[in-house]
Amino acid sequence: GGVGKTTLARVVFKKIRNKFDISCFLENVREISQNCDGMLSLQGKLLSHMKMKDLKIQNLDEGKSIIGGILFNNNVLLVLDDVNDIRQLENFSVNDQKWLGPGSRIIIITRDMEVLRSHGTVESYKIDLLNSGESLQLFSQKAFKRDQPLEHILQLSKVAVQQAGGLPLA
């Protein structure tokens, strides 16, 4: 966590979402799905992005069926952030990619590669941690609004970045 998976996906989403018939970015899937009716609320959010705001779904199976029917043959961009269980994907009808129209993309953000393997993901991308120079630069940009810290705080900044272990925003 903290390497920038969600941030990177959000940038990509904003850049390409207008090229799709339906686009939706669902954040914090793991956390929300743990709440009572959390998956139902996530299905509802997805349906609202499909111009189905007034549709009230009663249960996960109904939501899954409706979502699958709407996604069928549409050009879809769906980002699912922080997925940690294959059942979360199944509840969005994304486990059968032949339902989706040509050019559709589903971006699954997860810390658990087994979720992707179980899903049969076509491509995956692993984000590497930053090296010490990149970490110092990012830390300095966020903390001091400059590419490098001033000389009098350079050593302290290097120690802070080293302690963060490749996650300078931690």
DSSP secondary structure letters along 113-159? HHHHHHHT-S---PPPPP-HHHHHHHHHHHHHSSSS--GGGHHHHHH
3-class SS letters over 93-125: CCCCHHHECCCCEEEECCCCHHHHHHHCCCCCC
Over residues 69-105, the pLDDT tens digits come to 877 778 889 999 999 988 888 887 766 666 677 888 8
Task: Compute the mean pLDDT over every residue in the chain, rounded to the nearest whole number.
Answer: 85
DSSP reduced 3-state for 17: helix
Give the whole-angstrom CA distance, residue 169 versus residue 167. Answer: 6
pLDDT category of residue 14 using cuts at 50, 70 and 90: very high
Give the whole-angstrom CA distance, residue 99 versus residue 76. Answer: 10
User: 110 versus 1: which is more confidently predicted?
Assistant: 110
pLDDT at 58: 87
> In the chain, pLDDT over 90 holds for what percent of residues?
29
pLDDT category of residue 15 using cuts at 50, 70 and 90: very high
* pTM attached to this predicted model: 0.77
CATH superfamily of 5-119: P-loop containing nucleotide triphosphate hydrolases (3.40.50.300)
Closest listed residue to residue 1, CA positions, set 112, 79, 114: 112
Hey, where are the domains in the chain? Answer: 5-119, 132-164
